[in-house]
Structure 1
Amino acid sequence: KSEKKAYDIATELLEAEAKRKIEKSEKLKILDETKYQIFKNGFGFKETNDQNTTILQVINDLNVTKPQDRLICGEVGFGKTEIALRASFICTENLKQVCILAPTTLLARQHFELFKERFKQFDVKVEFLSRERTQKEKKEIIEDLKNGNISIIIGTHSLLSDSISFADLGLLVIDEEHRFGVRQKEKLRTLRKGINVIYLSATPIPRSLNLALSKVRDISIISSPPPGRKAVETIVSRYSNALIKEALEREFHRSGQSFYLLNSVSNLDFKAKDIRKMLPDAKVTIAHGQMSPKDLKETMIKFHNKEIDILVCTTIIESGLDIPNANTLIVESTENFGLSQLHQIRGRVGRSKRQAYAYFLTSEEKNLTKNAVSRIEALKFGDSLNSGFNLAMRDLEIRGAGEILGEKQSGVIDFVGLTLFTSLIDKSIKLLKGDLETSLDEIEIKLGVNGYITEESIPQPEVRLSLYKKISSFEKEEDLFNIKKELEDRFGKLPKETENLIKFARIRILSSKLLINKILSEQDRIYLFIDLNSPLKPENSKLEKIFLNYSNKEMNKIDFVLDKLIAFNEQNNS
């Protein structure tokens, strides 16, 4: 099943890659080095090494005819937006339009203010399209976009409307790309063939990561933090009023601000009242997506200007808000959120040199599901400054890789493991391209028996992944004996499924020596499909397969095949 799935995905990947190779984009390069330096100086910070590398990769991508398709993965506050700004500058200099898509009005507005400020001396018209705009303003913006009078448009889902068209779109930047559905992103891709696309994400969703890992999308990782940045201290606990009070008081007494996140609009007012009783001197206000755009904007401006001490809010704050003075975050009912969402929310604090704290509180009365526990554990141990990419890798294991080009967020890699599944995809791509060389892992074995590492025996996904990789890479039986002994020493008696996995690996090694391509079980017969040059084939014979009678029901199929292959190998070596 896994091999078939990998083959299907490989076909889709090759089609997607072929389209990118067929589609052409115009070469976009830095036309005026002096002008580019002036724009670059507007950043006001020293670039980190990772930032410099990523900027060069993006510049090189734009300067070739193959359309750019790059995922930039970097922690919140590590300077991903600066890369989008530089790419946008190159595009506008080449008289191309740029479209920046953000998931929320708040984040889109923040980008708009930043882009407007950075481009003000370069005669580049930057516009903003969202629900805040009046119908008249929207109509004018749509018209100007169509006529090429706007160079950079920044907006939310409004940009996905059928009424939007561009004069000459050169670059699409999707911020917090995990917040958009596949169909929404594909709609933007159809706006113009050969469009350059940059995806920005602190924690990419499994499908995006899988695409990048499967070499269809290029990936850049910004893992070095800006100088002086401290990791957010993460505390996971059951709900506790005493803990809440202590956390909010500490932030208030050091003249800082706090976010209190509760994903229920109807309960925000009650929670705000409770907090006002705890801290009578603090200014407490609520914010949520059902407020009018005008009221929400005013509240956020007040919070930004330090006129509000504690903001009781919904996930409206999830994306990109930059409030350096807010350094305490409390999230209620953490078990109801996804891993990338929680990591994203945590990114709202810790954006200055001051120590920040994130409290993830789980419901008192609820028993948590296994997946919820895995997500919260991953967060607790992933509180370093560059954990986003690692958390996304962990997410891949917790809920499966997802269909790479589809919409479902679950996949068959759950029990096969990411490394093994990616190697299956690579092999299928070789097969589809006509590279038919046989290797160890291309031997197909169908005995109706499962071999895998059980979650009960080894709960940590990353340990299971590395073991799959190790076992599948062995070419000598001796290595398998050693790993089996090592596993027994570390984890005790091995379950039947793990024993089977090691036996399957041994069957592959023995089969490769005998040039057996496939082993297939059908009722009481087991067929061995052999290569033209197999030592099992009599001279001048056209024999393609050998069948074995599986009559000894006391021995299971996997042991029966293993015994036969050991005997064949001994005969061959004598």
Structure 2
Amino acid sequence: LRAARLQIYAETDLIEAEHVVRHQRRSVARSFLSDFRDLKVGDHVVHVDHGVGEFVGLRQLTVPESRGRHEFVELRYARGDKLFVPVEQLDLLQKYTGSAHPTPDRLGGTTWEKAKTRVRKSMRDMTDELLKLYAARQALPGHAFGADTHWQEEFEAAFEYELTPDQRTALADIKRDMEQPSTMDRLLCGDVGYGKTEVALRAAFKALMDGKQVAVLTPTTVLAFQHGETIRERFASFPVRVAVLSRFLGRAEQKAALADLESGKVDLIVGTHRLLSKDVKFRDFGLLIVDEEQRFGVAHKERIKQMRRHVDVLTLTATPIPRTLNMSLAGIRDMSVIETPPKDRMAIQTSVVRFDPQVIARAIRTELDRGGQVYVVHNRVESIDSIAGLIGRLVPEARLAVAHGQTSEIALEKTMVAFVAHEYDILVATTIIENGLDIPNVNTIVVNHAARYGLAQLYQLRGRVGRSDRRAYAYLVVPADNTLSPVARQRLSAIREFSELGSGFRVAALDLEIRGAGNLLGAQQSGHIEAIGFDMYVKLLEQTVRELQGEEVRDERRARISLGIDLRIDEGYVTETDQRLAVYRKVATAADEPALAAALEEVSDRYGPLHPSLVRLAEYGRARVRASQLGVEAIDREASRLVIRFGGDARIDPGRLVDLVRSRPGLALTPAGVLRLDLDAAGRSGAPQAAENRRGARDSPAVGGDLDLLARVNAWLDDLGDAG
């Protein structure tokens, strides 16, 4: 390069990093196959009309009234009853997410409808209460914070990393809330290390700029210490006085800190539930930041609830709240979600290894040699000291500490704080480390007897490392004598396979999300999620919220189109059953033409130019989308005639429909409002030009008469749309 006199610059060398917007294309394999990719024979699914059933597989059957074979999803219900769902109607199915062993419903029984009715009633009561609370809070007078100051801009510019898009959105939401005259009550969700703290500190600085005091409430002393250190470092260049109230302070120091808080000398205070005591008084309280509210007791939650009436409240949680649930609660619970990992975050390198002291020693030394720290997890208190002794002999130069639940609370906290401060290199601990701690310097974790843990627990344990821009390593140790059960092998294989950032290997992530939904909505709603499955619950919740807000809720059921044509995807084009299922569902659930086009683009991106069978399925998908948008309930082929039935909310002007019938040969409208189209008569008079245009515009080869029929159906639907 020097000889060529050439210099290379990155975009961030030429443009200030703060203003660079990165458009990241999501991995096609990951985003596209998220729907049904994990569906295995024996898994449970939910049918909108028939309830919970067991997935048996894909079946090809010959249907008497149509030509050729068709593909169906076979489901097994109670008493061995079977249901065959056409692949083009997979929008009626959802993968069941809830308890590990749901009870299948009975086909033709009433239990499913009763369950949905029961859930709707409970949901309506809960939502009604949330709406009243939301309205009451909006009516309470609060402090309207001013616009960002020059110091605010300076404080934000001092942050060494570029905010992720989700962080930017969350911060904008919070600032908008703070500038309103009513009190803020916003929930900020995001995994540990995804940048919730920085967003919260910018909100805190905004409050301080208006002369208000800020309190940061944490569930443990260790977290209070950690937040205190972070905040002091972040605010070091500004005239902000920070105090940390914890049991590590002597009585005299606590008294002095509280006096300074009351007089206004302390601007920001960090502490545990001690902050909720009656003797804690502020001079001018403006913002309360609560970390992991669900970990507080009932009495403490009640006190936080009282505070909400008078000051702005920002609650942080690392328990994942599904975005679908967030959207469903729009308008009754203010929530921001940070899902984007920081820019330099790398996936955790996960290895399953047989118990070998030398392998473990090498893994620990590799981390220590780069100045890092190590977790060693052993979940048996009675033998943890012997494991700690072994680690001490393997790596005698390392400083080692032991932590478990039977240690006294004060001793445990001191050990954890010392580890955070890097006074120890290795922490040998039980699973008490699985929640809350964020130590960027710990980037290797060794989990002994990994096969004893559930997938969700392994997910959380592994998530304790990889909190910085360094590559992190997770070693899942199994017995050397090869005594693993098939289930344990499968679990360890899953965690190793899904080490990609944000993949969250879906079983564990969904388990955690349901837990998050329970934390947010209450234990009773968790029971309802178990009864009908998470996806169905979210769908009913969204409908309930919209109804109570006075919106018209239309039946979202898509049109049923039965033309007697083969809609199978060629098995040579998409060979794997689960992947074919994903493609079928992607087409079936497309709500509009752009969504359908995006789905087809992903298919061609993954499998190559669209196969003729996919072109045919795509034309069917277009017809279904268009018919649904027009309020068409069903289109059936009866010999050489199409019968079109309209739903109660059809978007067709009756007068213009009559004009269309008069002007087109082969069209007839019955007194019941059913439209009949004679295909032979329509064909003799010439198919609508739109059909010819549609056929001519495609690059992929046609599939005979079936594709021609679909093109004509789409053209007639376009004509009906013009009559709308």
Q: Tell me, yes or no, whether TM beats 0.5.
A: yes
Q: Is the 8 A contact 1:340 1:391 kept in 2?
A: yes
Q: How does 1:523-534 map to 2 (within 5 A)?
A: none
SS in 2 for 1:170: strand
Deviation at 1:329?
A: 0.5
Q: Once structures 1 and 2 are overlaid, which stretch shifts more, 59-68 or 261-270? A: 261-270
Distance 1:199 1:368, change over 3 A: farther
Equivalent in 152, 165, 185 of residue 49 of structure 1: 165
Question: Distance in 2 between the 1:409 and 1:368 partners?
Answer: 34
Q: Is the 8 A contact 1:203 1:340 kept in 2?
A: no
Kindly provide the CA deviation profile for residues 51-105 of structure 1, in whole angstroms up to 9, marking residues without a partner as x: 2232222211211234433333334333221111110011122233322122322
Deviation at 1:112?
A: 0.8
Q: Once structures 1 and 2 are overlaid, which stretch shifts more, 211-220 or 124-133? A: 211-220
Deviation at 1:113?
A: 1.7
Query: Aligned AA for 2:127?
Result: L
Question: Distance in 2 between the 1:146 and 1:56 partners?
Answer: 31
Q: Is the 8 A contact 2:148 2:206 kept in 1?
A: no
Q: How does 1:452-531 map to 2 (within 5 A)?
A: none
Question: Distance in 1 between the 2:531 and 2:354 partners?
Answer: 31
Question: Distance in 1 between the 2:462 and 2:246 partners?
Answer: 26
Structure 1: any 5+ residue segments left out of the alignment?
Answer: 443-458, 475-507, 518-533, 537-574
Q: Is the 8 A contact 2:517 2:526 kept in 1?
A: yes
Percent identity of equivalent pairs: 37
Q: Is the 8 A contact 1:203 1:343 kept in 2?
A: no
Distance 1:283 1:112, change over 3 A: closer
Equivalent in 125, 134, 144 of residue 20 of structure 1: 134
Q: Is the 8 A contact 2:192 2:438 kept in 1?
A: no
Partner residue, 1:230: 346
Query: Aligned AA for 1:130?
Result: S
Partner residue, 1:94: 210
Question: Distance in 1 between the 2:172 and 2:591 partners?
Answer: 35
Equivalent in 285, 295, 307 of residue 401 of structure 2: 285
Equivalent in 187, 209, 214 of residue 329 of structure 2: 214
Question: Distance in 1 between the 2:486 and 2:215 partners?
Answer: 41
Q: Is the 8 A contact 1:324 1:349 kept in 2?
A: yes
Question: Distance in 1 between the 2:505 and 2:287 partners?
Answer: 24
Kindly provide the CA deviation profile for residues 449-503 of structure 1, in whole angstroms up to 9, marking residues without a partner as x: xxxxxxxxxx99xx89x969958989xxxxxxxxxxxxxxxxxxxxxxxxxxxxx
Question: Distance in 2 between the 1:392 and 1:194 partners?
Answer: 38
Question: Distance in 1 between the 2:506 and 2:298 partners?
Answer: 22
Partner residue, 2:123: 9
Partner residue, 1:313: 429
SS in 1 for 2:247: coil
Question: Distance in 2 between the 1:368 and 1:205 partners?
Answer: 31
Query: Aligned AA for 2:212?
Result: K
Question: Distance in 2 between the 1:315 and 1:220 partners?
Answer: 29
Distance 1:2 1:200, change over 3 A: same
1:126 aligns with 2:231: no
Partner residue, 2:499: 383
Question: Distance in 2 between the 1:513 and 1:162 partners?
Answer: 68
Question: Distance in 2 between the 1:389 and 1:150 partners?
Answer: 45
Deviation at 1:109?
A: 0.6
Instruction: Tell me the matched-pair count.
Output: 470
Question: Distance in 2 between the 1:147 and 1:305 partners?
Answer: 32
Deviation at 1:154?
A: 1.2
Query: Aligned AA for 1:106?
Result: V
Q: Is the 8 A contact 2:292 2:318 kept in 1?
A: yes
SS in 1 for 2:521: coil
SS in 2 for 1:116: helix
Distance 1:12 1:39, change over 3 A: same
**TM-score of the superposition, structure 1-length normalised?**
0.66
Distance 1:438 1:386, change over 3 A: closer
Distance 1:322 1:406, change over 3 A: closer
Partner residue, 1:77: 193
Equivalent in 314, 325, 330 of residue 446 of structure 2: 330
Partner residue, 1:107: 223
Question: Distance in 2 between the 1:346 and 1:231 partners?
Answer: 11
Query: Aligned AA for 1:83?
Result: V
1:204 aligns with 2:320: yes
Partner residue, 1:566: none
Deviation at 1:409?
A: 8.0
Question: Distance in 1 between the 2:297 and 2:366 partners?
Answer: 39
Query: Aligned AA for 1:134?
Result: G
Question: Distance in 2 between the 1:34 and 1:400 partners?
Answer: 38
SS in 2 for 1:198: strand
Q: How does 1:106-255 map to 2 (within 5 A)?
A: 106-142=222-258, 144-145=260-261, 149-161=265-277, 164=280, 166-177=282-293, 179-180=295-296, 184-204=300-320, 210=325, 213-215=328-330, 216-236=332-352, 244-252=360-368, 254=370
Q: Once structures 1 and 2 are overlaid, which stretch shifts more, 391-400 or 79-88? A: 391-400
Distance 1:439 1:184, change over 3 A: same
Query: Aligned AA for 1:153?
Result: I
Deviation at 1:415?
A: 5.6
Partner residue, 2:61: none
Query: Aligned AA for 2:216?
Result: I
Deviation at 1:308?
A: 3.5
Distance 1:239 1:409, change over 3 A: farther
Query: Aligned AA for 1:22?
Result: A
Q: Is the 8 A contact 1:400 1:411 kept in 2?
A: no
Q: Radius of gyration: which is bigger?
A: 2
Deviation at 1:237?
A: 6.3
Distance 1:220 1:434, change over 3 A: closer
Q: Is the 8 A contact 1:202 1:389 kept in 2?
A: no
Query: Aligned AA for 1:214?
Result: L
Deviation at 1:259?
A: 0.9
SS in 1 for 2:307: coil
Q: Is the 8 A contact 1:108 1:155 kept in 2?
A: yes
Deviation at 1:188?
A: 0.9
1:351 aligns with 2:460: no
Query: Aligned AA for 1:16?
Result: L
Q: Is the 8 A contact 1:165 1:191 kept in 2?
A: no
Equivalent in 425, 429, 441 of residue 545 of structure 2: 429
Question: Distance in 2 between the 1:83 and 1:535 partners?
Answer: 60
Q: Is the 8 A contact 2:294 2:519 kept in 1?
A: no
Deviation at 1:186?
A: 4.8
Partner residue, 1:260: 376
Question: Distance in 2 between the 1:320 and 1:306 partners?
Answer: 17
Q: Is the 8 A contact 2:324 2:538 kept in 1?
A: no
Question: Distance in 1 between the 2:540 and 2:260 partners?
Answer: 49
Deviation at 1:118?
A: 3.1
Deviation at 1:423?
A: 1.8
Query: Aligned AA for 1:133?
Result: L
Q: Is the 8 A contact 1:332 1:362 kept in 2?
A: yes
Structure 2: any 5+ residue segments left out of the alignment?
Answer: 1-114, 559-576, 593-631, 635-643, 650-670, 674-724
Kindly provide the CA deviation profile for residues 14-51 of structure 1, in whole angstroms up to 9, marking residues without a partner as x: 32233223223534434562211232233233333332
Kindly provide the CA deviation profile for residues 184-204 of structure 1, in whole angstroms up to 9, marking residues without a partner as x: 445312224054332333433
**TM-score of the superposition, structure 2-length normalised?**
0.54
Question: Distance in 1 between the 2:493 and 2:317 partners?
Answer: 21
Deviation at 1:350?
A: 1.9
RMSD: 4.7
